[in-house]
Amino acid sequence: MALLQIAEPGESTAPHEHRLAVGIDLGTTNSLVATVRSGMAVVLNDELGRSLLPSVVHYEAGGHVEVGYEAQAGQAVDPKNTVVSVKRFMGRGLKDIAHIEAMPYDFVEGEGQVRLRTAQGVKSPVEVSADILKALRQRAEAALGGQITGAVITVPAYFDDAQRQATKDAARLAGLNVLRLLNEPTAAAIAYGLDNAAEGIYAVYDLGGGTFDISILKLTKGVFQVLATGGDSALGGDDFDHRIFCWMIEEAKLAPVSPHDGRLLLTRAREAKEYLTSHSAAPITVKLGSGEYVDLKLTTEIFNDITRTLVQKTLQPTRKALRDAGLAPGEVKGVVMVGGATRMPQIQHAVAAYFGQEPLNNLDPDKVVALGAATQANLLAGNRVAGDDWLLLDVIPLSLGMETMGGLTEKVIPRNSTIPIARAQEFTTFKDGQTAMALHVVQGERELVSDCRSLARFELRGIPPMVAGAARIRVTFQVDADGLLSVTAREQTSGHEAKIEVKPSYGLTDDEIAAMLKDSYSHASDDAFRRALREAQVEAQRLIEAVQSALREDAQLLSTLERAHVDTCLAKLQAVMMGDDRRAIDVAMYALSKGTAEFAARRMNASVQKALSGKKLEELGQ
């Protein structure tokens, strides 16, 4: 943390060591990890040279956890304990999940979020995802030879707050410091845009295994501006498999199938789907558990027929996103195709017909998201290099609002608003003498609260008694650059305030995460301890130098009293930093950071003001 070192934007900062940062594409079907090495984004392979990690986790009865290809192999043998496509369950309750009946799991309805009973106990989707992330972290640390300081993890643009929070929890559980959750199509656009020096309006059409996203972006000289985004967080290649699965059951007149047979049929369905991408018919042969054989032939014609509505379902959000961006299909310069499911010819045709142009397929649809994420991670970790000076302006995918009388929603921030954003709205009391007000924050486009997703509830108390409608309660929504929402309510006449950081009520608590982490870290070695101590000492030295240099430059921004406090904190850190009490160093560092926060903020503000007036002068000179 190079506190207080302010450089002009675009100028690189004092040389600092390269921080290991990765981008992770946590996919429904496949996951990948990438990093920036000598200025180039590269995917990190496993020891066998494979880049994809199938998003499959097998909880063996013996306590062993397998992730990836090994787990995939066990899929047909032990379907109940082998979790595939767990992303579809993230932040979701049982009632939200489609095709439950075709899944071999033993579901447990958990608090808000569904859970699975496995041979290793009940697992939440967050824990299963964390096992995938852990495997990727280990792969990256082995390849890079060091500890990762931060990760950018991609999520479907259309993920709501609960799904995002669940992803963040999974990352924390895997011991990853999340620099940002990045929208998948945006990540793809970054990789594509930087690679091709693209300028103009682009659409990213991303159909993966489980999710569909469409994003419309404007690319101009180093700025990636998302204009609109839309999608369906439960539509992907899996649904095409399921259509084939249903067709097979009907054609072969199969009675209810066992979990084993179900998994087998789904696997065959997927193989047939992929085969049809380059063939006009796919033979399907399945030997059921009973010994009975199913023999079928799926032609392109039938496949197109049974999946036509799915293809159409992707065009609906596409139209909506374009309308939100205020654009017609013809104004789009290029359509970037992302996700394995865009390989299907009927998708290629539908997209080409809608946009009136051949889509762009000149990049690897499997890797592009991870590569974009790695680029962003590198930037956010502070490894900025000259010429690598770009900015991303993203939007929120879903409207944010409040519940009002009669169970209706009042939108406060509309979907597709550029973040960071703050909006305030006034509400009032509806009963005489009312002294408290319940506030309910919701996300979604629908008019009825019951059709939207509930994000948080809180209460503003201490409103002075007045007649109905006289109180003025100002509710402010603030969404930061990470897309995280905080809501503040304030009664205007009395100044009473209530504030909440929105977190879905069933996200893991910090305590739960801490307990889970402790389990996995209980055997840190002496070596690791010494390394951590050494790192803390280096950080402390860096912090001290930064503060001293800031004091030399801008001491006038502090009052005598403030200055004295900073000096005390400095002296304390200097006193403990060479000792071997890691905790004491951390505490003193925290105190110094906190003691200089206000100073840092003032310097930053002055620096921005200066940068802006500098711009004005330049322009006058032109």
Ligand X SMILES: Nc1ncnc2c1ncn2[C@@H]1O[C@H](COP(=O)(O)OP(=O)(O)OP(=O)(O)O)[C@@H](O)[C@H]1O
Q: Binding residues for other proteins, per CB under 8 A?
A: 1-7, 9-10, 13, 16, 220-223, 225, 316, 319-320, 323, 379-382, 384, 391-393, 417-422, 478, 480-481, 593, 596-598, 600-605, 608-609, 611-613, 615-616, 619
Q: How far is the CB of 132 from Mg ion (least distance, A)?
A: 13
**Cβ proximity to ligand X, 91 vs 236, nearer residue:** 236
Angle 582-621/560-576 helices, nearest 10 degrees? 130
Number of residue whose CB is nearest Mg ion: 208
Q: Report the C-alpha gap between 536 and 96 in whole angstroms.
A: 45
- CA distance from start to end of the chain: 38
Distance of CA 391 to the CA centre of its chain: 18
Q: Report the C-alpha gap between 590 and 570 in whole angstroms.
A: 11
Q: How far is the CB of 242 from ligand X (least distance, A)?
A: 10
Bridge pairing between strands 56-59 and 293-299: unpaired
Tell me which of 208, 397, 401, 504 binds ligand X, using CB under 6 A.
208
- Binding partner of residue 595 among ligand X, Mg ion, other proteins, none, CB under 5 to 8 Å per kind? none
- Binding partner of residue 363 among other proteins, Mg ion, ligand X, none, CB under 5 to 8 Å per kind? none
Task: Confirm or reject binding of residue 341 to ligand X (CB under 6 A).
Answer: yes
Q: How far is the CB of 27 from Mg ion (least distance, A)?
A: 4
Site for ligand X in 477-516 (CB under 6 A): none
Known catalytic residue at 87: yes
Q: Report the C-alpha gap between 77 and 1 in whole angstroms.
A: 49
Q: How far is the CB of 186 from ligand X (least distance, A)?
A: 13
CB neighbours (10 Å) of residue 346?
Answer: 17
Task: Confirm or reject binding of residue 210 to ligand X (CB under 6 A).
Answer: yes
Site for ligand X in 274-303 (CB under 6 A): 274, 277
**Cβ proximity to ligand X, 51 vs 434, nearer residue:** 51
CB neighbours (10 Å) of residue 147?
Answer: 16
Strand, helix or coil at 556? helix
Which is the catalytic residue, given 46, 78, 87, 123? 87
**Cβ proximity to other proteins, 113 vs 383, nearer residue:** 383
Task: Confirm or reject binding of residue 397 to ligand X (CB under 6 A).
Answer: no
Q: How far is the CB of 168 from other proteins (least distance, A)?
A: 18
**Cβ proximity to other proteins, 83 vs 350, nearer residue:** 350
Known catalytic residue at 206: yes
CB neighbours (10 Å) of residue 481?
Answer: 13
Q: How many residues bind ligand X (CB under 6 A)?
A: 23
Rg (CA), the chain: 27
Q: Report the C-alpha gap between 40 and 26 in whole angstroms.
A: 21
> Could you tell me which stretch among 236-244, 352-360, 477-485, 585-593 binds ligand X (CB under 6 A)?
236-244
Which is the catalytic residue, given 127, 184, 366, 394? 184
Known catalytic residue at 95: no
Q: Report the C-alpha gap between 106 and 114 in whole angstroms.
A: 11
| Contact in structure between 231 and 251 (CB atoms under 8 Å) | no
Which is the catalytic residue, given 127, 169, 206, 491? 206
Give the contacts of 476 (CB within 8 A, at least 6 positions apart): 422, 423, 424, 487, 488, 489, 490
3-state secondary structure 31-89: EEEEEEECCEEEECCCCCCCCCEECEEEECCCCCEEECHHHHHCCCCCHHHEEECHHHH
Task: Confirm or reject binding of residue 350 to ligand X (CB under 6 A).
Answer: no
- Binding partner of residue 220 among Mg ion, ligand X, other proteins, none, CB under 5 to 8 Å per kind? other proteins
- Binding partner of residue 312 among Mg ion, other proteins, ligand X, none, CB under 5 to 8 Å per kind? none
DSSP string, 135-198: HHHHHHHHHHTS---EEEEEE-TT--HHHHHHHHHHHHHTT--EEEEEEHHHHHHHHHHHHHT-
Q: How far is the CB of 257 from ligand X (least distance, A)?
A: 20
Known catalytic residue at 562: no
Tell me which of 23, 317, 334, 340 binds ligand X, using CB under 6 A.
340
Task: Confirm or reject binding of residue 366 to ligand X (CB under 6 A).
Answer: yes
Number of residue whose CB is nearest ligand X: 237
**Cβ proximity to other proteins, 10 vs 433, nearer residue:** 10
The single-letter code of the amino acid at 591 is A
Task: Confirm or reject binding of residue 236 to ligand X (CB under 6 A).
Answer: yes
Largest CA distance in the chain: 87
Q: Report the C-alpha gap between 220 and 197 in whole angstroms.
A: 9
**Cβ proximity to Mg ion, 156 vs 262, nearer residue:** 156
- Binding partner of residue 222 among Mg ion, other proteins, ligand X, none, CB under 5 to 8 Å per kind? other proteins
Q: 326, 374, 415, 413: which is closest to 179 by C-alpha?
A: 374
Task: Confirm or reject binding of residue 91 to ligand X (CB under 6 A).
Answer: no
Binding-site ranges for ligand X (CB under 6 A)? 27-30, 87, 184, 208-211, 236-238, 270, 273-274, 277, 339-341, 343-344, 366
**Catalytic residue positions, numbered:** 25, 87, 184, 206
